[in-house]
Amino acid sequence: MNVTYELVFNAGEKPTLCKNISTDDGSQSILTCLTSTNVNELAEFTDDQIWQHMDNLVDYMRQSAQNMTLIPAGSFPRDGLPVVGWNELSQLSEEVYSWWRYALSRDEHVHVEIIPDLPV
């Protein structure tokens, strides 16, 4: 059994970090997307992969921003925001920030506790 850790970023889809488990002969494989809460599995990704993932998230943010629109006059937004797509971009921004903090925490020369948390 072989286990590899990969970045998956398809156009129009949110980038993910995945674990690929395959048989020794490569005849079968299972691709599982990981969340940022599984620290043991995240440790398997290289620093370059983590930084590439952040770059992919920023690219996805750029793509998503192209779909943002202002709520038409006289309409009331369901989420209380005047721009459709704003919530997604805000969440992506916070996710990039979290990954950035995680990447810095992996560097033994950086003291992450001095990096301020995002304002609430």
Structure confidence by residue, pLDDT tens digits, 96-105: 998 888 888 8
Spell out the residues 6+ positions from residue 51 whose beta carbon is closer than 8 angstroms to its own: 103
Query: Do 52 and 30 form a contact (C-beta atoms < 8 A)?
Result: no
Q: What is the per-residue pLDDT for 120?
A: 34
Query: Do 59 and 111 form a contact (C-beta atoms < 8 A)?
Result: no
Half-sphere exposure of 48 (CA within 13 A, CB side): 2
Q: pLDDT class for 118, splitting at 50, 70, 90? A: very low
To the nearest whole percent, how much of the chain has pLDDT over 70? Answer: 88
What would the two tokens of residue 37 be? 């809460």
More confident residue, 2 or 120: 2
> What is the mean predicted confidence (pLDDT) over 23-42?
82
Q: pLDDT class for 51, splitting at 50, 70, 90? A: very high
Instruction: Give the helix/strand (H/E) hosting 59.
Output: helix 47-65
Cα dist from 56 to 2, 6, 48, 105, 111, whole Å: 26, 13, 12, 20, 25
Q: What is the per-residue pLDDT for 59?
A: 95
Spell out the residues 6+ positions from residue 17 whose beta carbon is closer than 8 angstroms to its own: 5, 6, 7, 8, 33, 34, 42, 45, 49, 53
Q: pLDDT class for 111, splitting at 50, 70, 90? A: low
